[in-house]
Amino acid sequence: MTLKQLVKQAIMKDNFTDLKGFISFCNEYLAFISNNLQAVIISQNENHYRFYQYDKSGNYQITRPINSNLMYDAKEFAKASKEYVKILKRVKNADKKDDSIREIINNSTYTIQQSIGAALDGLPAGKSNTARKLTGDLFEHFIRLIIHEIGIACRTGVIQVPVIVDGQAQFNMSYQHDLIIEKDDDIKVIGSIKTSSKDRIDKIFIDKFLYNKLTEKDTPHIAVFLNDVQRKNTKKENEYGINTTFLPGHFKGYTVKLNPLDGVYYCDIRPNMKTENILKDQIKTFDHLLIEDIWKFIE
């Protein structure tokens, strides 16, 4: 398949109605990059990040950063993706000590999503925002499909929250949430699903605070992120590095002084999230949501 065809496929949401669609797109993309790239550019500050450069058919455009420790190649993915589906179906009873299961969950999720993101980076220069919007939408959809696959019903949608003053509902606030998990008409979890946290992290904390205040409940709020890095240009032409877009100060401030979130999950976790106080208690890799945490929320 050519880059043009891949981009065309990625734009069409019909191709991503089920997990199978995500996986087969990923197979096509990985096959393409295995022998059609102009170059693979290595990030100068963190060497395991790579940028793919397309050839003339993609105007020599350069993709978003790809973490080579998480991204499978075509051959690895062919094998892992089969395991992936099997693991998801039985994840509730997975061996919690088996790290290879966790690796397959994180890496496959990452590889599939980035294959879409990177393919959309092949859109013409003026359409970069289209790529951003679509990757975001597809990531949301992808995570919901995964949650369905493990056997939990979930949806996206708007929740109306009445604001009560002096015992009277004055008006509604409508909240549009990426992830709502219900059970017996009870909202068990509210979640945000985003490719990166950046300037949206504050809102997630605020949402939890206000929602629970208004409803007088203690509904868990979680967040699922793909990563938190972006490409940065260096002084030299054709040299690139990565920037992190996570705001640790805000995250810790809200956690300590407003309210902690009930789970924050990354596919491509930053090193400081594993070592720094507060962060390391709050933030985990994506496998933890599926293997452990999500089951506690819906009990």
- With contacts defined by CB under 7 A, name the span among 25-33, 147-155, 192-200, 279-287 that binds DNA: 192-200
Shortest Cβ distance from residue 132 to DNA (Å)?
Answer: 4
Alpha carbon distance 273, 13 (integer Å): 33
Shortest Cβ distance from residue 85 to DNA (Å)?
Answer: 24
Shortest Cβ distance from residue 180 to DNA (Å)?
Answer: 13
Residues 154-173 within binding reach of DNA (CB under 7 A)? 158
Strands (E), 44-138: 49-53, 66-67
Task: Please tell me whether residue 230 binds DNA under the rule CB under 7 A.
Answer: yes
Name which of 169, 153, 254 is nearest 215 in CA terms.
169
Alpha carbon distance 240, 178 (integer Å): 33
C-beta closer to DNA: residue 69 or 234: 234
Shortest Cβ distance from residue 135 to DNA (Å)?
Answer: 5
Burial profile 49-59: b = 16 or more Cβ within 10 angstroms, e = fewer = bbbbbbeeebe
Strands (E), 148-208: 155-165, 168-183, 186-194
Residue 57: partners with Cβ closer than 8 Å, 6 or more residues away: 2, 3, 4
Instruction: Assess contact for 246 and 228: CB atoms under 8 A.
Output: yes
Give the distance from CA 249 to its chain's centroid.
Answer: 21
Q: Which pair of tokens denotes residue 197? A: 């946290």
Q: Which pair of tokens denotes residue 33? A: 């990059």
Shortest Cβ distance from residue 95 to DNA (Å)?
Answer: 33
Name which of 194, 297, 161, 214 is nearest 202 in CA terms.
194
Shortest Cβ distance from residue 272 to DNA (Å)?
Answer: 8
Contact pattern for DNA over residues 21 through 50, marking x by CB under 7 A: ------------------------x-----
Instruction: Assess contact for 9 and 25: CB atoms under 8 A.
Output: yes
Residues 131-150 within binding reach of DNA (CB under 7 A)? 132-137, 139-140
Residues 72-111 within binding reach of DNA (CB under 7 A)? none
* Options 64, 144, 188, 284; binder of DNA; rule CB under 7 A: 64
CA atoms within 13 A on the CB side of 63: 28
Residue 215: exposed, middle, or buried by beta-carbon count in 10 A (0-12, 13-18, 19+)? middle
Shortest Cβ distance from residue 103 to DNA (Å)?
Answer: 23
- With contacts defined by CB under 7 A, name the span among 181-189, 198-206, 255-263, 279-287 that binds DNA: 198-206
Alpha carbon distance 215, 219 (integer Å): 9
Shortest Cβ distance from residue 65 to DNA (Å)?
Answer: 8
Contact pattern for DNA over residues 240 through 279, marking x by CB under 7 A: ---xxx-xxxx-----------------------------
DSSP state of 195: S
* Options 170, 176, 275, 277; binder of DNA; rule CB under 7 A: 176
* Options 195, 222, 264, 290; binder of DNA; rule CB under 7 A: 195
Interaction site with DNA (CB under 7 A): 13, 45, 64, 117, 121, 126-130, 132-137, 139-140, 158, 174, 176, 178, 192, 194-196, 198-200, 203, 230-231, 233-235, 243-245, 247-250
